[in-house]
């Protein structure tokens, strides 16, 4: 469930650490300025910066330990979370969402084709770049064409057992590190 | 009934902040500051769910899990492990194998944490043990159900489904939850099988009011006189 830690990982680790340091330095500077001026610190900005720092820390960990994150997207958010929980139990770093969000570095996306109609062009491009694993209840040629258009690397027909989904994720990860 | 949670973390501020987030979400929360203290608290009374820090000076999470199991096959309540740093996937699996239900990386969005707590509590509510609701008695573990003195002939999945619904009497149990908890699949495709199970339950009960269909969402168990 991890990728190699070659020179590209070291480069990513260095980049993520650099950005993390910059973000934390920004937070400290905001606090120092607020303290010097006797003002209240800018809570909203600091919270956004700290959220970013935590995301960057995740990127650092992923690069250091070779962890590949997984995002399960389904219009039924509860179903998406049940699947993500099942994957976490198998050892994956899985999260769920009801709509596409900014992806973490190298995130493997499990995408319910039912969401395809709701994608705007930017989201479609994000998804295509991620080369998702598509899960769908339909096996008709039109659905396959939609999946192909989204850059799907795998096409699984519901019901999908977790072990089959895990195998697809592993294939996708092997493809990524190859 | 308010669910009782136990937060276990050796960093007092982290423990209290986590507890406060959970209290504001309506839970009753206790805090333990070590693995040893957590085990003592559990001996005094089991929580409905434990949030357990992975790394503590006296015990790591797998040791706490082993002690909680104390020879039994499973821990009688869900345990979610809180990790400060992401461990290798292997460590995560070890935690699950020793009885943890889920993992949360510290610093995870508050709403995500609350969703995972809700999910684990829901799962617990469907656990084994006989359920008595009015004239209905269901014991899926023993494979039996009866209405008054009359035995109900139900196959395994309809029986599990009836027990799950009875456990959540008055609440809507969604189709997704039923698929996950009764069919062990998080994907649809067993929906026809679920409808057949409902049909079998209603046919055996011979009284339609016990199981209400909540259109497009799921089913609700309603006690009948």
A146 touches chain B (CB under 8 A): no
A68 phi-psi bin (left φ>0, alpha ψ -120 to 50, beta other): beta
pLDDT given at position B216: 85
Residue bearing tokens 């209840």: A137
Q: How far is CA A37 from the centre of its chain?
A: 39
For domain B4-125, the CATH superfamily is: Response regulator (3.40.50.2300)
In total, the C-beta contacts within 8 angstroms joining chain A to chain B are: 71
Q: Do B85 and A61 touch (CB under 8 A)?
A: yes
Q: How far is A162 from chain B (nearest CA, A)?
A: 8
**Percent of chain A predicted with pLDDT > 90:** 48
Closest Cα of chain B to A57: distance in Å? 9
Which residues in chain B are classed under CATH 1.10.10.10? 131-221
Beta strand B131-133 pairing with B136-139: antiparallel
Residues of chain B with CATH 3.40.50.2300: 4-125
Picking from A96, A91, A79, A166, the residue whose alpha carbon sits closest to that of residue B103 is A91
B186 in contact with chain A, both atoms CB, cutoff 8 A: yes
A172 pLDDT more than 80: yes
Asked if A61's CB is within 8 angstroms of B102's CB, the reply is: no
* Per-residue pLDDT at A61: 83
Classify domain B131-221 at the CATH class level: mainly alpha
Q: Which of B97, B121, B111 is nearest to B49 (CA)?
A: B121
Instruction: Look up the ipTM and state it.
Output: 0.70
Average pLDDT of chain A? 86
Q: Are strands A69-73 and A93-97 parallel, antiparallel or unpaired?
A: parallel
Q: Please check whether residue A85 touches B, CB under 8 A.
A: yes
Chain A CB within 8 Å of residue B54 CB: no
Taking the Cβ of residue A61 and every Cβ of chain B, the question of whether any pair is shorter than 8 Å is answered with yes
Q: What distance in Å separates residue B147's CA from the closest CA in chain A?
A: 33
> Tens digits of per-residue pLDDT, A10-50?
787 888 899 999 999 999 999 999 999 999 999 999 999 99
Q: Which residues of A touch B79 (CB under 8 A)?
A: none
B70 interfacial to chain A (CB closer than 8 Å): no
With an 8 Å Cβ cutoff, is A78 touching chain B?
A: yes
- Residue B109, SS3 per DSSP: coil
Q: Tell whether the model's pLDDT for residue A2 goes beyond 50.
A: no
**Which residue of A58, A88, A159 is in closest CB contact with B189?**
A159
Q: Which residue would you say has higher pLDDT here, B179 or A108?
A: A108
Chain B residues with CB-CB distance to A57 below 8 A: 107
pLDDT by residue for chain B (225 residues), tens only, comes to: 578 999 999 999 999 999 999 999 999 999 999 999 999 999 998 899 999 998 899 998 989 999 998 766 668 788 999 887 666 666 677 777 777 888 888 888 888 899 889 878 876 665 656 788 999 998 876 678 999 999 999 887 788 889 889 988 898 988 888 887 777 555 566 778 888 899 999 999 998 899 999 988 999 999 998
Inter-chain touch A78–B174, beta carbons under 8 Å = yes
Alpha helices in A66-161 (DSSP H): 77-89, 121-130, 141-149
- Higher pLDDT pick, B128 / A81: A81
Are B134 and B224 a contacting pair, CB within 8 Å? yes
- Confidence label for A156 from pLDDT (cuts 50, 70 and 90): very high
Name B52's bridge partners: B8, B81
Chain A contact for B96, CB < 8 A? yes
| Alpha-carbon gap, residue B204 to B201, rounded angstroms | 5
Q: Looking at the complex, does the CB of residue B169 fall below 8 Å from at least one CB of chain A?
A: no
Q: Is A14 on the interface with B (CB under 8 A)?
A: no
Predicted local distance difference test score (pLDDT) of residue B75? 80
Quick one: pLDDT at residue B87? 60
CB distance A97 to A80 below 8 Å: yes
Rounded to an integer, the average pLDDT of A98-125 is 91
Chain A residue numbers with beta carbons less than 8 Å from the beta carbon of B105 are 58
Calpha distance B41→B61 (Å, rounded)? 16
pLDDT, greater one: A63 or B61:
B61
């Amino acid at each position: 469930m991890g990728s190699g830690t070659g020179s590209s990982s070291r480069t990513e680790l260095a980049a993520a650490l650099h950005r993390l340091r910059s973000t934390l330095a920004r937070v400290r500077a905001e606090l120092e300025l607020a303290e010097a001026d006797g003002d209240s610190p800018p809570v909203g900005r600091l919270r956004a910066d700290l959220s970013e720092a935590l995301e960057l820390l995740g990127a650092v960990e992923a690069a250091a330990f070779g962890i590949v994150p997984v995002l399960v997207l389904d219009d039924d958010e509860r179903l998406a979370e049940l699947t993500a929980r099942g994957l976490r139990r198998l050892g994956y770093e899985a999260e769920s969402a009801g709509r596409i969000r900014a992806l973490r570095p190298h995130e493997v996306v499990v995408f319910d084709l039912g969401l395809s109609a709701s994608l705007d062009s930017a989201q479609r491009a994000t998804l295509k770049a991620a080369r998702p694993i598509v899960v769908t209840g339909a096996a008709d040629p039109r659905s396959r064409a939609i999946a192909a258009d989204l850059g799907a690397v795998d096409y699984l027909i519901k019901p999908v057992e977790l072990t089959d989904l895990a195998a697809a994720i592993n294939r996708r990860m092997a493809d990524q590190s190859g | 009934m308010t669910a009782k949670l136990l937060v276990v973390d050796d960093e007092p501020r982290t423990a209290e902040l986590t507890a406060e987030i959970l209290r504001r979400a309506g839970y009753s929360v206790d805090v333990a500051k070590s693995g040893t203290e957590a085990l003592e608290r559990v001996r005094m009374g089991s929580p409905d769910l434990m949030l357990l820090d992975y790394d503590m000076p006296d015990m790591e999470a797998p040791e706490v899990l082993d002690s909680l199991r104390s020879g039994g096959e499973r821990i009688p309540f869900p345990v979610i492990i809180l990790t400060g740093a992401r461990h290798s996937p292997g460590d995560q699996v070890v935690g699950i194998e020793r009885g943890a239900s889920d993992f949360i990386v510290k610093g995870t969005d508050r709403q995500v944490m609350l969703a995972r707590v809700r999910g684990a509590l829901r799962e617990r509510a469907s656990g084994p043990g006989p359920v008595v609701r009015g004239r209905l008695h269901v014991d899926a573990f023993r494979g039996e159900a009866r209405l008054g003195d009359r035995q109900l002939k139900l196959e395994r999945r309809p029986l599990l489904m009836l027990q799950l619904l009875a456990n959540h009497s008055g609440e809507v149990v969604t189709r997704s939850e039923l698929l996950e908890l009764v069919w062990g699949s998080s994907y649809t495709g067993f929906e026809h099988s679920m409808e057949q199970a409902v049909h079998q339950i209603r046919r055996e009960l011979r009284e339609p009011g016990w199981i209400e269909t909540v259109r497009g969402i799921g089913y609700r168990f309603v006690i009948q006189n």
